[in-house]
Amino acid sequence: MMLPIAALVMAQASAIPPLAPADLIFTRGKVWAGKGLPEATALAVRGETIAAVGSDAEVLRWKGPATRVVDLKGRRVVPGFNDAHLHFASGGFGLLSLDLRSAKDEAEMAARIAAFAATLPPGRWITGGRWDHELWTRKVLPSRASLDPGTQKNPVLVSRVDGHEALASSLALKAAGITRDTPDPAGGTIVRDARGEPTGILKDNAMDLVTKVIPPPSREETLAAVRAAMREAARLGVTSVQDNSPASALRAYRDLRRAGELTVRISAWQGSESLEALRAAGIVGGIGDDWLRIGAVKLFADGSMGSGTAAFFAPYADDPSTSGLLLSGDVQLKELIRSADAAGFQVAVHAIGDRANALVLDALQEIEKATGHRAVRPRVEHAQAIRTADLARYRALGALASIQPSHCITDLAWAEKRIGPVRVHDAYRFRSLLDAGIPVAFGTDWSVEPLDPRIGLYAAVTRESQEGGPKGGWHPEEKLTIEEALDLYTRGSAFAEFAEERKGTLEPGKLADLVVFGADILAIGKTDPRALLTAPVELTVVGGRIAFEARPATREGKGADRQPDERPTVR
C-alpha cells in the first residue's frame, strides 16, 4: 500500500543519517504533527528547526554526546499556538496596569480606579481597564460622574472590553477640549446626557479626540510591557503573534530582536496612516525574518457589536435608532484597500456587522473587476456576522476569515438581545466558514479577550460559556472538532501570514516551535472538553529554545524515571 506523501517525507527524513547530532530530542510522547499528518512518539530539533519526526528508535539515531533528551512520559506535543489577531503590547501594558474586567458594577469600577490613582503622581494618565457593563446587574453605560471624585489629579480614559468605546473623566475631556459644543467626528459618537453635556462615553473615532493628547509611553515602559507580554505568551504556549500595535511597540520589538531576547515570533501590522511613509521608503509586507517581520496593513470598516457600533443592514434590536457606524466610508475603504494592496501589503480589514462584511467583499470585488488583479489573501478580521449569501463571495474572492472563538462564548449572553433571534444565526459562524471552503485563522484579540488559546479551543468545540451552558452549546451546529480547532490555531494562522512553509505543523525543516501539555488535549477535547480550560502547559519551545517550563525538569540520576506522573524528564 502506498504511504501518504506527508508520511513518506517524514519517514524518509527520520531514516536519513544525520550530518550532525540533534540539539534536543523528545521521546515517549504523543506528537500531533498537524491535521492529517501521522501520529509520532518522538521529535528531534537541530538549531531552530525540526530535524526528524517519527518513532523513538528513528529519532534517537539523532542523539549525540551533547544532545538533551526530554522523556515526555506520554505527554501530548502540538505545534506552538499562533495568535492571528491580538494587541500584544497593549496586553502587556494591561498586565502591568489596571484590570476592570471583573468589576461587578460602576461603583466598584470607580473605586478601583480611585485606589489606583492614589498610587500615581499627579498628572499621570490612567488608561486601559477593559470594563464590561454587560456583566453588571444594571447594564447601563457608566459616566464620568462616578470617576471624578476619586481622580481629581489624574485624567482617566478607560476602554470598554472591546476597545470600541471608552469612558473619559472630566479632566480627560478638558485636556482634549471636548465640550457640549464639540461635534461628533466622522465614524464616532460623543455620548451626551439629556442636557447635551458629554457623559464621558466616547465611541470609536471619538476616542481619538482624547488619545491624541495622552503622552506616549517611554521606551522603558514599552519594553517592560512587551517583556510581560512575552512571559504570558510563553506560559500559555503561544509561539507566534500577528500584532496590532503602534510604531513604538515595533521599535521595542526591534531592540529585543537585536538583543536576542524575543521568545515569540511577531508579525507587526501597520496602520493605514503609515502607508505613504512605508511606500516612500520602499517597505513592503513580509520584510524581516522568522522572528520579526512587517505584516499586514490594518483597516477598519466598522465598530463592535458590544458597543452598538458594528455596521448592520438593519437597526439593532435593542436600539432601533441605530444600525451601527461605518468607520470608513464606502469609497474611502475601497481606496484604502486598493492602495495597500498596490503597495505590496496584505490587507486586514476589521469587519463585524453583516453590512461591514458585505462592504469589504464589495470593495474586493470591484477592485478585481477594475484592475483584473485579485488582492492576495485579503483578511477580514473578526468576521462576526456574515449573511449566508456572502459565504460564497468570501470563497470566490479568496478572502480569509480571521476569527476569535472566545468572542462567541463571551458575547452569547447578550448577542441575541442586541441583534435579534434571526440575525444571530448569521453570527459566530465557525462550521459554516469551514464547510464553505473559506480559509480560517484563530486568534484571541488580546487584550480584548485573554491570550489563553485553551479558551479558544474550548469555545470552538463546545460553544458554551466558561461557567457552563447553554447545555449542548449555543447554536451547536457551528461547533468544530478539537482537531479542526487546533489546526486553525496553528496551520490556519500560519497560512494567514504567508508562513505555512515555515511553521504551523511539526515537520522536518520547519521551525521548532511546540508546546508540551500535561494532559492529552486531543483526547479530552472529545470526551471532556471542559478540561481543556485547565490542561496544563508544561513546556513551550520556540526555535528550539525552551521559553517556558512549568517546573524545572528533573535530571537523570535523581529518580526521574521512578514516578510515572512526574513532568517531562530532561537528561
> Domain-by-domain residue ranges, the chain?
5-79+510-570, 92-211
CATH ID of 92-211, from 3.40.50.300, 3.30.70.20, 3.10.310.70, 3.30.2130.10: 3.10.310.70
Mean residue pLDDT across the chain:
92
- Does pLDDT of 497 surpass 50? yes
Predicted confidence band of residue 571 (pLDDT cuts 50, 70, 90): low
Predicted confidence band of residue 273 (pLDDT cuts 50, 70, 90): confident
Predicted confidence band of residue 13 (pLDDT cuts 50, 70, 90): very low
Cell of 125: 494618565
Closest CA to 265 of 223, 299, 296, 234: 234
**H or E stretch at 410:** helix 405-411
- Does pLDDT of 275 surpass 50? yes
pTM, entire model:
0.88
What CATH topology corresponds to 5-79+510-570? Urease, subunit C; domain 1 (2.30.40)
Q: 9 — phi, psi (to 5°)?
A: -60, -45
Q: What separation, in Å, do the N-terminal and C-terminal C-alpha atoms of the chain show?
A: 39
pLDDT digits (tens, 9 = 90+) for 420-462: 999 999 999 999 999 999 999 999 999 999 999 999 999 999 9
Give the distance, in angstroms, between the CA of residue 448 and the centroid of all CA atoms in the same chain.
Answer: 9
Residues 176-188 as b/e (b if ≥16 CB within 10 A, e otherwise) read: bebeeeeebeebb
- Does pLDDT of 560 surpass 80? no
Q: What is the DSSP letter of 284?
A: -
Taking the C-alpha atoms of residue 46 and residue 68, their distance in angstroms, rounded to an integer, is: 11
